[in-house]
Amino acid sequence: MDATDQCKMNDDYVYATPPLVEVIAEVHWETQKIASIPGGGVDPFYSACLDAIRKNSHFGDFRHEEHLMPDQVPIEFFSNKPLVRFRKQANSWPLYQLGPGIFVTNLTPPYQGWQDFKKILAHGLRGLFANYPYADTQLKISKLELRYVDAFTKRHGFENYAVFLTEGLGMSLQVPATVLNNSADGEMKGVVTNSEVSFPLKKLPSSRGIISVGLGESSREKAVVAQFACTYEGATLQPQETTLLDWFDTAHMELRDWFEQMVSNEVKGTFGAPTKIGN
């Protein structure tokens, strides 16, 4: 076992220059559905929660607010969609987002490892639970999601989409013969697909894994954009920090393992050596 493998046995490590674009953790809770508005709903305590957060120091240092929707738009149309962002200052990361039935924690590089992100998430959850009225009975958690977004560019070996998916990510591309017969080059090398696979998870009851891949951009450069996510949609959960963080911990381990198993050693070689975080 080499030093790299020994490092990866630790729960927390980071690569020198990973392809990471963003880490996103979402917490959703039940809203009162409105039959006349498809997808709409009412969070009866959203406004009171927002007022309390403003009164009680905005998640600590996260005092800079950004409003994502005009105030005159009825919030019933935006159930489970963020309406306000909280940052330490303009354009800074990480950030928190709040809306009717939803709380989101977002982080972009530099990424200092899972334990660092989990502390940020836990801080936000404590602020949410402390400021949501009657949280013990009214905050019924209905969905959790942890998602990592990665972008593989030329520096990671991406030149041809089909080749990179097959050789870099271990994914097979299958298209109807009609596609190849009518393709200008008659080969797979010119084919671009957007794919998503969803599957139930062994280690996380009532949860699914989601891996999606497509062609996109990163810093104005063409990239293969891959999203690795775990989603919980089982029975409602109580707003207990340890319960939610336990799920996020296991979800992170799952996502880390998928990433390590799917990405080829040649591509991982472009990330630099992994560095162990903590003891």
Residue-wise pLDDT for 221-237, tens only, equals 999 999 999 999 999 99
Question: Does the N-terminal peptide bond of residue 239 adopt cis geometry, omega within 30 degrees of 0?
Answer: no
Nearest residue to 187 via CA among 201, 205, 198, 173:
173
Q: Which amino acid is at 11?
A: D
Residue 217 scores a pLDDT above 90: yes
> Per mean pLDDT, which range of 117-131, 190-204, 220-234 is the poorest?
190-204
Which is it for strands 13-15 and 102-107: parallel, antiparallel or unpaired? unpaired
Residue 27 scores a pLDDT above 90: yes
* List of residues 6+ apart from 257 with CB closer than 8 A: none
Residue 131 scores a pLDDT above 50: yes
Give the pLDDT score at 6. Answer: 46
Q: How far apart are CA 259 and CA 147, in angstroms?
A: 12
Q: Which whole number is the average pLDDT over 64-78?
A: 87
- Residue 187: band (very low, low, confident or very high) from pLDDT cuts 50, 70, 90: low
Residue 18 scores a pLDDT above 70: yes
Note the pLDDT tens digit of each residue in 232-271: 999 999 999 999 999 999 999 999 999 999 999 999 999 9
Q: Under a CB-based contact definition with an 8 Å cutoff, are residues 104 and 24 in contact?
A: yes
Give the pLDDT score at 185. Answer: 65
Residue 120 scores a pLDDT above 50: yes
Give the pLDDT score at 11. Answer: 66
Which is it for strands 41-42 and 32-33: parallel, antiparallel or unpaired? antiparallel
Q: Under a CB-based contact definition with an 8 Å cutoff, are residues 126 and 241 in contact?
A: yes
% residues pLDDT > 90 (the chain): 76
Helix axes 114-131, 46-55, angle to 10 degrees: 110
Q: Which whole number is the average pLDDT over 169-181?
A: 75
Give the pLDDT score at 3. Answer: 40
Q: Under a CB-based contact definition with an 8 Å cutoff, are residues 162 and 258 in contact?
A: no
